[in-house]
Amino acid sequence: MTDELFRAMARSIIDGDPDAAADLAKKAVEAGIDPLEAINKGFVPGVDYVGEQYGKGEMFLPDLVLAGEAMKAAVAVLEPEIVRQGSQRQTLGVVVIGTVEGDIHDIGKTLVATMLSVSGFRVYDLGVDVPVATFVEKAREVSADIVGMSALLTTTMVRQRDVVEALEDAGLRSQVKVMVGGAPVTRAWAQEIGADGYSEDAIGAVAVAKQLLAK
């Protein structure tokens, strides 16, 4: 039954059908399925499939756009549920997060921001296409403990390095930890640019953020 639901979720993304995706997300909530599991086991396989087919030239930009819209419709239903289930209220630290300049992918970044927020971090989400200087200014303004950057394109992940350097130039680097993520980002890349932490998913991002502030 759950497997069937997960398969239908993936299909709704592949078909680019936001109404079906939202309905299936509601069904998952009603059935008491963990909303993150619904995202990771249901909807993400669909988005991965569309990404793969797009990469092979077998699906096209409109398919990518529709898949993104369907994914957002599902996350819009599941996110309040994630927030509702997170009851911790103590502040573990202050996080400034955004998707780097030139990059408008926001689904994964928003999930990471939500998970950090429900886990007890105070999160300032700067959105997408965030200029290097904006990360630095916001980090200074709110005395951030962590600056988190998401990048989904090989062409934009280099902006993560620019932010690390700009934090250094602004004299803030010793006060803030830097965490990076996004589909093309790897642990090796994080090390190469001098980031302090990397995670491949939203749950891992919470663990990494906690570890960074425990050090």
Q: Which is nearer to ligand B1M, 1 or 55 (CB)?
A: 55
Q: Which is nearer to ligand B1M, 41 or 105 (CB)?
A: 105
Both tokens assigned to 57: 């030239």
Find out whether 175 and 202 touch, Cβ atoms under 8 Å.
no
Measuring CA to CA, which residue among 106, 115, 110 is closest to residue 88?
115
Closer CB to ligand B1M, 1 or 53, in the complex: 53
- Specify the DSSP class assigned to residue 130: B
Alpha carbons 200 and 203: distance in angstroms, whole number: 9
CA dihedral for 130, 133, 138, 144, sign (positive or negative): positive
Is the Cβ of residue 1 or residue 125 nearer to ligand B1M in the bound state? 125
Pure H helices in 86-186: 107-118, 132-142, 158-169
Nearer to ligand B1M, 91 or 155 (CB): 155
Q: How far is the CB of 141 from ligand B1M (least distance, A)?
A: 19
Contacts with ligand B1M by CB under 6 A lie at 44, 47-48, 50-51, 54-55, 61, 64-65, 67-68, 71-72, 97, 102-109, 111-112, 148-150, 152-155, 179-184, 199-202, 205
Least distance to ligand B1M, CB of residue 13, Å: 9
Is the alpha carbon torsion for 120, 131, 100, 173 positive or negative?
negative
Output the smallest distance, CB 181 to ligand B1M, in A: 2
Q: Which residue is nearest to ligand B1M (CB)?
A: 108
Provide, rounded to whole angstroms, the least separation between the CB of residue 26 and ligand B1M: 19
Nearer to ligand B1M, 1 or 177 (CB): 177
CB of residue 38 vs ligand B1M: minimum separation in angstroms?
Answer: 12
Could you say which DSSP state residue 95 is in? E
Q: How far is the CB of 40 from ligand B1M (least distance, A)?
A: 7
* Residue 116 CB-density burial (10 A; 0-12 exposed, 13-18 middle, 19+ buried): buried
End-to-end CA distance of the chain: 44
Residue 197 belongs to what H/E stretch? strand 197-198
